[in-house]
Structure 1
Amino acid sequence: MFDVIIVGAGVVGSSIARELSKYDLKTCVLEKSSDVATGTSKANSGIVHAGFDAKPNTIKGKLNAKGNAMFDKLSKELDFPFKRNGSLVLCFDENEIHTLEELKEQGENNGVPNLQVLRKERLLELEPNLKEDVVAALYAPTGGIVCPYEMTIAYAENAYTNGVEFKFNTKVENIKKVEDKFILETNEGNIEGRVVINAAGLFSDDINNMISSNKIEIIARKGEYCLFDKEAGAMATRTLFQLPTKMGKGVLVTPTVDGNLLIGPNAVDLNDKTNMDTTQDGLDDILERAKITFKEIPMRQVITSFSGLRSHSAADDFIIGEAKDVENFINVAGVESPGLSSTPAIAEMVEKIVVNKLSPARNDKFNPIRHGVPKFREMNNKERNELIAKDSTYGRIVCRCETVTEGEILNAIRRPLGARDLDSVKRRTRAGMGRCQAGFCSTKIVKILATELNVPEYEITKFGGKSKLLIGENKEI
């Protein structure tokens, strides 16, 4: 029997797992997919919000700025990409400047440091590609950008190496409580635990409603994005928000930590929590609204579009805490924006609840350091030559667009919680994320995966389950 069972291996569940691995607890993470970061954590803006947007009397307002301040230390310990590029909330109407001042005051109440309202001349110095009719903006220097799936993988790997068990392809179908223990019925059999943490994202209402009479509702809110080639990445150095007006909330324009440009999202509420389709109308809408921010949108530089689903709570706030009618069942639900930014603080909040419940001893073997996959593309020639001298597989380029080597792919497969399919390799190495979108490298990666996992190539999938890429072997002639 486990001391703690965490349902969901997204950024929230994985961060909590890492925090609890600091204690002498038998902890398990259940994930219905084949890898970590396969839901909301893999497809979002990657923004580390400063903390001015959330209402001060909400859990979001209490945790955002606190979580933001923890990213520098975490990114160094866990070796994931993070950059404090700052953010601007742009105003294009003199009559709306008072709203910037209100946001500034709200941010200060939330503990956000160094907020400033800047005027047009300074803004065009900072961001020359802004539309000339910009009049002012709220500047938050603590705003940042991060790779959300690399962050999640880093949390999970560190939790795993510190003793947390992960069970993939394991879907929770029912939960019962018998005396002082929970029995989670899954497609892989029953799993028992003393404390259950519900971090199931879009499906956290389903998990809660299996065991608690205090029902919650999670709405799938879809956001569509356009990703631009790295040639367009320098068009913005800061994250550019549009000030919400009576005409609606604008879209953001931001560089990514990998050097691309990202535009989006819109917001469409859905009944289907699996609908990840992009639509022509949706993409046209975000690109049209981005024209409010930029002088020109480099349409020829779009390399892909995608959508992500956010877990919007009907209560319009994070739901964090023990269910009132089920002792030791802890919800961490409705974690939408600024959820990624708040994640480190959320993990600490849940840690305190669990420690209060179980009073565990500290894990004196806890190691906070995790090293990621070496990034050949970021090395100088001396570093590359030294790496190749140690391991010749780093001298063979597999993904030309992102300069990803065979050595990196092998590392991704062989490391803790290693990659087992095409998308999990992509999330760990960026192989397939460049201009050609895996047009050239996917067959090579399939071959490497098959060899390493000792299975036929037609058994390799794109993202687990039934997502096979091949139907069989070619006949020899």
Structure 2
Amino acid sequence: MNKYDVAIIGGGILGTSISYWLSTLYDLKVCVIEKEDDVAKHTSSRNTGVVHSPFYLDPSKRKISSVSSLISHDLWEIFAKKKSLPWFEVGTIEVASDEHQHKTLEKYLKWSKQNGIPDDQIALLDSNELLKKEPNLHAYSGLYCSRDVSTDYGVFTRELHKESEKHGTEFLFNKDVLDVNDDSEAEITFSDNSTLTAKFMINCSGGNSLDIAKKCNLAKQYDDLHFRGEYWVSDKIHADLVKTNIYTVARFPEFPFLDPHWIKRADGTTEIGPNAVPVATPETYEGYTGELNVAVAKIREIFGGNVRRLLTNRSFLSMLSKEFLSSISKTKMVHRVQQFIPKVQPEYFTRHGTAGIRTPVISPKGEFVKDILEIVGKNSFHIVNYNSPGATGAPAYSAFIVKTLQDKGFLDYPQKPKESFWDFDEIIDLF
């Protein structure tokens, strides 16, 4: 049986970032457990690739996420330049369709200042100013943030994997976690019946993180849902109708789903989307059920837990029905985008883009949990509900997690720092 000082479950951008900090700060035996054959096979590669500025995050309710996003912009830029990785400063405009939504943008402008976004990088534009910026963009107003970037987080994660491995982290691929016990130490059993133990375990397994936490008898009061977001890719001729990322003020602000947006990808393509299709697993990128036994278990969970309360919410049901319609109709999706880019037509979008899964956590009250859940076990730490802008904030947030574990006494080892392109102490001081 292999034994480690720290075992990290999840080889996405967060797990890989945490492994980088641990391998840079300590001489420990650290492993990253990943059920696929490489890092970043799921959400870390299946997102919009936007380095988000935290103008839309409430600084009082989502302070750590907003600080992480602000700090990480510069960290990712340093990394991209050192490694010659994609870094395209395209900017983002969040548009309002009427005076009511304009009030939301005014609120966001105040939040942006509180969250530390420089004044010269964000501006509230009226309809005429929007037309000067983007002649094909029609809206009541828009909040323009020039610092937003398009990149490829899958590429970032794979490069970070190399650095972490160089510093001594062992990456264990094709290891699907079957069971976990963290009573006296962390003992992890895999689907092939092999096992490993660790003095401490960090669970950051994305859409599977709540299930892993429950195996440690934690977070049992929560449930989750999986929603697939689908996109359509514009043909090359029409890809630059608008040259900036466009987001819209959400029609359903109480639910964590963005309305359709226009995304400029790092590879030069343009996509519109997403919708929100309920699926059975965090890996159901096509169809609706995935494996039948998993689907049946999820349906039982839905009708026996917190999700049942959510399904009595009329606003949620209205959102779900409208999003589902757009998931099965390209024309419906395009019509929604026409509300702010009137020139787009269904025939401009000839193929599906990348589908990704978002897994919101549901509280006992039947409400979506808005922020990250950090749950402490006996010999484990669980990061649950790590959704957007998770990839943006990963390098700073992972440093914050390592500092949290230090303060709690879980990393009581002498530090032996190695050369790093990021400064751990400087990052922590910014929190």
2:143 alignment counterpart: 138
1:196 to 187, 194, 201: 201
The residue identity in structure 2 corresponding to 1:150 is: V
Q: Within the alignment, does 1:341 sit opposite 2:395 as a pair?
A: no
1:351 alignment counterpart: 402
* Per-residue CA distance 1:218-262 (angstroms, 9 max, x = gap): 321221111234443322222111122369952110211111101
Residues 311 and 260 of structure 1: is their aligned pair in 2 closer, same or farther, counting only changes over 3 Å?
Answer: same
Residue pairs, 1:386-425, within 5 angstroms: none
Q: Within the alignment, does 1:285 sit opposite 2:303 as a pair?
A: no
Q: Is the 8 A contact 1:7 1:31 kept in 2?
A: yes
* Per-residue CA distance 1:326-364 (angstroms, 9 max, x = gap): 233111221111111121222111121333422334445
C-alpha displacement at 1:288, in angstroms?
2.1
C-alpha displacement at 1:77, in angstroms?
3.4
Q: Name the SS of the counterpart of 2:394 in structure 1.
A: helix
1:308 alignment counterpart: 356
C-alpha displacement at 1:164, in angstroms?
0.8
Q: Where do 5+ consecutive residues of structure 1 fail to align?
A: 370-477
Q: Name the SS of the counterpart of 1:82 in structure 2.
A: coil
Residue pairs, 1:324-473, within 5 angstroms: 326-356=377-407, 357-366=410-419, 368=421
State which drifts further: 334-343 or 284-293. 284-293
The residue identity in structure 2 corresponding to 1:358 is: L
1:163 to 159, 168, 172: 168
1:234 alignment counterpart: 240
Q: Within the alignment, does 1:51 sit opposite 2:54 as a pair?
A: yes
The residue identity in structure 2 corresponding to 1:351 is: V
Residues 280 and 54 of structure 1: is their aligned pair in 2 closer, same or farther, counting only changes over 3 Å?
Answer: closer
Q: Where do 5+ consecutive residues of structure 2 fail to align?
A: 288-325, 364-368, 423-431
Task: Calculate the TM-score normalised by the size of structure 2.
Answer: 0.78
2:267 alignment counterpart: 258
> Which of 1 and 2 has higher RCO (CA within 8 Å, sep 6+)?
2
The higher radius of gyration belongs to 1
2:283 alignment counterpart: 274
C-alpha displacement at 1:9, in angstroms?
0.7
Q: Within the alignment, does 1:296 sit opposite 2:302 as a pair?
A: no
The residue identity in structure 1 corresponding to 2:36 is: S
Residues 63 and 365 of structure 1: is their aligned pair in 2 closer, same or farther, counting only changes over 3 Å?
Answer: closer
Q: Name the SS of the counterpart of 1:42 in structure 2.
A: coil
Task: Calculate the TM-score normalised by the size of structure 1.
Answer: 0.71
Residues 246 and 38 of structure 1: is their aligned pair in 2 closer, same or farther, counting only changes over 3 Å?
Answer: closer
1:183 to 175, 183, 187: 187
Q: Is the 8 A contact 1:321 1:330 kept in 2?
A: yes
Q: Is the 8 A contact 2:123 2:144 kept in 1?
A: yes
Residues 241 and 362 of structure 1: is their aligned pair in 2 closer, same or farther, counting only changes over 3 Å?
Answer: same
Residues 301 and 249 of structure 1: is their aligned pair in 2 closer, same or farther, counting only changes over 3 Å?
Answer: closer
The residue identity in structure 2 corresponding to 1:275 is: T
2:132 to 122, 125, 130: 125
* Per-residue CA distance 1:399-456 (angstroms, 9 max, x = gap): xxxxxxxxxxxxxxxxxxxxxxxxxxxxxxxxxxxxxxxxxxxxxxxxxxxxxxxxxx
Residue pairs, 1:61-72, within 5 angstroms: 61-72=66-77
1:405 alignment counterpart: none
C-alpha displacement at 1:143, in angstroms?
1.7
Distance 1:328 1:304 in 2: 43
The residue identity in structure 2 corresponding to 1:26 is: K
Residues 320 and 366 of structure 1: is their aligned pair in 2 closer, same or farther, counting only changes over 3 Å?
Answer: farther
State which drifts further: 298-307 or 120-129. 298-307
Q: Name the SS of the counterpart of 2:352 in structure 1.
A: strand
After the TM superposition, list the runs of 4 or more consecutive aligned residues in structure 1 that deviate by more than 6 angstroms. Answer: none
Distance 1:360 1:322 in 2: 22
Residues 269 and 95 of structure 1: is their aligned pair in 2 closer, same or farther, counting only changes over 3 Å?
Answer: same
Residues 167 and 40 of structure 1: is their aligned pair in 2 closer, same or farther, counting only changes over 3 Å?
Answer: same
Distance 1:119 1:108 in 2: 19
Q: Is the 8 A contact 1:145 1:257 kept in 2?
A: yes
Q: Name the SS of the counterpart of 1:52 in structure 2.
A: helix
2:15 alignment counterpart: 13
2:372 alignment counterpart: 319
The residue identity in structure 2 corresponding to 1:270 is: V
Q: Within the alignment, does 1:222 sit opposite 2:228 as a pair?
A: yes
The residue identity in structure 1 corresponding to 2:380 is: F
Q: Is the 8 A contact 2:55 2:117 kept in 1?
A: yes
Q: Is the 8 A contact 2:182 2:378 kept in 1?
A: no
Distance 1:271 1:209 in 2: 18
